[in-house]
Amino acid sequence: MLDFDAARERILAAARPVSGERVPLWSAVGRVLAEDVHAAGDWPPFDYSAMDGYALRAADVTGAGPWELPVSAHQRTGQESAPLEPGTAARIFTGAALPKGADCVVMQEVVEREGDRVRLASAPRAGDNVRRRGEDLEAGALALRRGTRLSPYDLGLLASLDRVEVLVARRPQVTLLCTGDELRPPGGGPPHTIADSNGVAVSALAAQAGGIPRRAPLTRDEIAPTRDAIAEAAGTTDLLITIGGVSVGEHDVVRPALEELGATVDFWKVRMKPGKPLLLARLGDTTVLGLPGNPASALVTFTLFGLPLLRHMQGDRRSLPPLRRAELTAPLRQKTGRRGFYRAALDGDRVTPLSNQASGAVTAMAWANCLVVVPEDVSELSAGSLVEVLSFADC
């Protein structure tokens, strides 16, 4: 049985990078950048005014004030800048190119305009209210690093650099195979059956991490149909996620089915709670991640292992989410020997564990917004203790 950190290291090491593809900016949000992006030219590409006002040469305002200058030009946005006549000012607007020869802009709120002349009460300094060419990015500078998951703000930067498409990691193909004689699709069915909630939730999580999920038909707890379903999926998917059937019972058929197909099983138990039965294997070019069948166990293990695995396949530099610190509002107890992940509600810097921590509870993850992490060697934490917390918002 592996400890948690070793298991996660082996999961990430098993991630095979997906290929890249070029996509339009409009469809690139949430995708992982597969190249470094450098500025092809300076940004901004020219000196421009940061204010509505009057552009002039600071050296033309000398001696005692107030000062008057004739207005010799009108500089609008989108116009090529014209030379400024010495000893004059140009009416200018925010974003307009600075006239050649001007070195500052005086805000319109601090001047008086009378006809074609402008009066200044205070002397400006060179550089006032001017955005200089290249002050944000110089030509050749690194704008975005490979492995960045592109946000709307990143796309705005790329558009500013005149990029119309970008090289991103291909979205991994993810197949979900849920096993269990008791399972049926949601919507009602025979007595003593239950709706397949894990498949719905894990599919949504996989899509959230950038995958393209496909749900295989539900499979019975028998080796032959499970083996056949795995064999069919393995040739067409980057990541195969099985849910259920990875423990040690006589109806836990996923590992035997994989072994019959010649898969290499890396590990299948982790020192954690919930989620001890967790399997990692490789079948041909497909990575196989076997999750336990209990709802809380399945979702906790996929959050902790499946999401980082999918992100790592795409080259995401932030594959592992950060941990926060929070104050525990109620005591927590556990048997030592396994790292505990307890469903909880985080509110600011305080965290409250949910009362029902059963691995089969369907409310556990829906009503929680984080996991409280309790080390293997800790048996009890009192209210007021500072604990590590994994917020679902960071996953």
- The pLDDT score that the predictor gives to residue 235 is 83
Let me know: does 190 contact 56? Beta carbons within 8 Å. Answer: no
**How far is Cα 94 from Cα 102, in angstroms, rounded to an integer?**
15
Here the tokens at position 133 are 């060419």
**Residue with structure tokens 């038909």?**
217
Question: Average of pLDDT values for 298-319?
Answer: 97
- The pLDDT score that the predictor gives to residue 251 is 63
- What is the reported pTM? 0.89
Percent above pLDDT 90 for the chain = 92
- The pLDDT score that the predictor gives to residue 248 is 64
Percent above pLDDT 70 for the chain = 99
pLDDT tens profile 231-246: 999 989 999 999 998 8
- The pLDDT score that the predictor gives to residue 279 is 96
Question: Average of pLDDT values for 40-46?
Answer: 96
Q: Which residues, 6+ apart, have CB-to-CB distance to 135 below 8 Å? A: 44
Report the C-alpha dihedral over residues 338, 340, 341, 343, rounded to 10 degrees. 140
Domains of the chain and any CATH numbers:
2-15+171-313 (3.40.980.10), 20-43+136-169 (3.90.105.10), 48-131 (2.170.190.11), 324-394 (2.40.340.10)
Asked whether the predicted pLDDT for residue 147 surpasses 90, the reply is: yes
Question: Average of pLDDT values for 192-212?
Answer: 96
23 sits in which H/E element: strand 20-24
Question: Average of pLDDT values for 170-183?
Answer: 95
- The pLDDT score that the predictor gives to residue 302 is 98
Asked whether the predicted pLDDT for residue 82 surpasses 90, the reply is: no
